[in-house]
Chains A and B, each alone.
Chain A
Amino acid sequence: GQQVMQIPQYQHVQEGEDFTTYCNSSTTLSNIQWYKQRPGGHPVFLIQLVKSGEVKKQKRLTFQFGEAKKNSSLHITATQTTDVGTYFCALQYSSASKIIFGSGTRLSIRP
């Protein structure tokens, strides 16, 4: 069956350090989305990647979609305390299929 793996499960970094979370699928994807969920909050859409090899940036966040459209990463440069939360990838295997969420990477930061 279709499976999604997101790693690491947790990451604790010093403020100012970089952070990366990875998402891998066993099957080629139509697109991948990334969400951030603050503690006690709801998931908030960050970005959608559609094209093979696509790279998108939002300020300190860099999102990549693998060439084979089976994996993706989110990289945060120079983390700040406002980056605390859980980051989820969400996959679609076709444009009309349900969205499947990864298990998330919880980021905590030492000031």
Chain B
Amino acid sequence: DAGVTQSPTHLIKTRGQQVTLRCSPKSGHDTVSWYQQALGQGPQFIFQYYEEEERQRGNFPDRFSGHQFPNYSSELNVNALLLGDSALYLCASSATGNTIYFGEGSWLTVV
């Protein structure tokens, strides 16, 4: 049983570019959340998807958008990248009300 898988694991982008990160939830999980973790800080909630809709959103600008597909996998898109967007992006999945499981993350560096 695969856990939460994320791709890519590492990537480097230039300021102003756009990036798409992908997440496949753990089998049986229908809820996907995305977090941004800057170096030395705790994960910051970006948004959560359930039944292909954004259910909750944290304090992130509209440059951050997402999508959930019918198979529960999810994408995080960030437009007009800024240097400050450099971070570890974590995907977490859960079945409603149960333990959340994190993927290993995608390390994004913006230069």
The residues of A with any CB-CB pair to B shorter than 8 Å are 6, 33, 41-45, 48, 88, 95, 97-104
Contact = CB atoms under 8 A, between A and B. Distances in A.
A99 B104 contact: no
A98 B34 CA distance: 11
Interface of B: 33, 35, 41-45, 48, 56, 58, 88, 90, 97, 99-105
A94 B43 CA distance: 19
A45 B42 contact: no
A103 B48 contact: no
Contacts of B101: 45
Q: Does more than half of chain A's interface fall in helix, strand or loop, or is it mixed?
A: loop
A6 B40 CA distance: 13
A44 B101 CA distance: 7
Contact of A42 (B42, B90, B97): B90
